[in-house]
Amino acid sequence: MSQQRHYSPLDQVLIQADAALRTLLPFTGHTTRPSPAKLKDETLLSDQESRHVAGLMRINHTGEVCAQGLYQGQALTARLPHVRQAMEHAADEEIDHLAWCEQRIRELGSRPSLLNPIFYGLSFGIGATAGLISDRVSLGFVAATEDQVCKHLDHHLSQIPVTDEKSRAILEQMRVDEAQHSTTALNAGGLRFPAPVKMGMSLLSKVMTFSTYRI
């Protein structure tokens, strides 16, 4: 039988610092899956279209930065080992999305948001707080967050030019993955948040999308 490894407080700090750096610095690691855009041909976009798509992909990239912060914070404070492992596994899967979005942003001649460190820190704090309250609340927060992400992805897919198959392929695969994360969190016992809470989360999400589209 495998034994659960226990980390000292210093180990935990170093682990979290490493996760933050890997999230916020330009991606240099290896993804578990190749980008869905890899098999799609690049198409010629106008300057206006390129700027708009880059802005949308920048929003999605920051969303993945927030997901990393959220999951890392939850994993730090989760009480049950299987919940902690679920948070860490979800964070690993989101790394793919992070890398895919960053690569596409660079291809469009732009860069990730300068506000990412702020949003990572806020998300980490929210995740850690949710984990301290209870694992059920923590899992429920994951489900509610992923539902918000799916709505953003649907909205962005409706705005991306039909000819931009690369960006579209990335967002479509992300949509599938995020929906699965929400379902998994609820099936694991996550709390279904009431409508007022979801409305508050939606307002915070709008602040993020408005600011990171350009900055």
- Residue 11 covered by a domain: no
SS3 33: coil
- Residue 7 covered by a domain: no
Taking the C-alpha atoms of residue 159 and residue 105, their distance in angstroms, rounded to an integer, is 16
- pLDDT tens-digit series, residues 9-30: 565 666 666 666 666 667 666 6
pLDDT at 64 over 80: yes
* CATH, residue 147: 1.20.1260.10
Cα–Cα nearest to 155, from 90, 60, 47: 60
Is 107 marked as a binding-site residue?
no
Please, what is the average pLDDT of the chain? Answer: 79
Is 64 marked as a binding-site residue?
yes
Is 93 marked as a binding-site residue?
no
Which letter does DSSP use for residue 38 in this model? Answer: G
Is 94 marked as a binding-site residue?
yes
Is 97 marked as a binding-site residue?
yes
Question: Per-residue confidence at 81, pLDDT binned at 50, 70, 90?
Answer: low
pLDDT of residue 2: 42
- Residue 100 covered by a domain: yes
Q: How many CB atoms lie within 10 A of CB 10?
A: 8
- Residue 186 covered by a domain: yes
Domain residues for the domain of 105 are: 45-212
Total domains, the chain: 1
Token code pair at residue 172: 């479509």
- Residue 179 covered by a domain: yes
Kindly list the distances between the CA atom of residue 192 and the CA atoms of 5, 39, 188, in Å, as whole numbers in the listed order: 31, 38, 12
- Residue 32 covered by a domain: no
Is 146 marked as a binding-site residue?
yes
Query: In which region does residue 184 sit, left (phi positive, over 0), alpha (psi from -120 to 50) or beta (all else)?
Result: alpha
- Residue 119 covered by a domain: yes
pLDDT at 125 over 70: yes
Q: 25-29, 103-107, 206-210: which range is least confident on average? A: 25-29
User: Is the Cβ–Cβ distance between 129 and 136 less than 8 Å?
Assistant: no
- Rounded to two decimals, the pTM is 0.79
- pLDDT tens-digit series, residues 128-163: 887 778 777 778 877 888 888 888 899 899 999 989
pLDDT of residue 56: 92
pLDDT of residue 3: 47
pLDDT at 111 over 80: yes
Q: How many CB atoms lie within 10 A of CB 105?
A: 22
* pLDDT, greater one: 81 or 60: 60
Q: How far is CA 9 from the centre of its chain?
A: 26
Token code pair at residue 15: 């682990």
- Residue 64 covered by a domain: yes
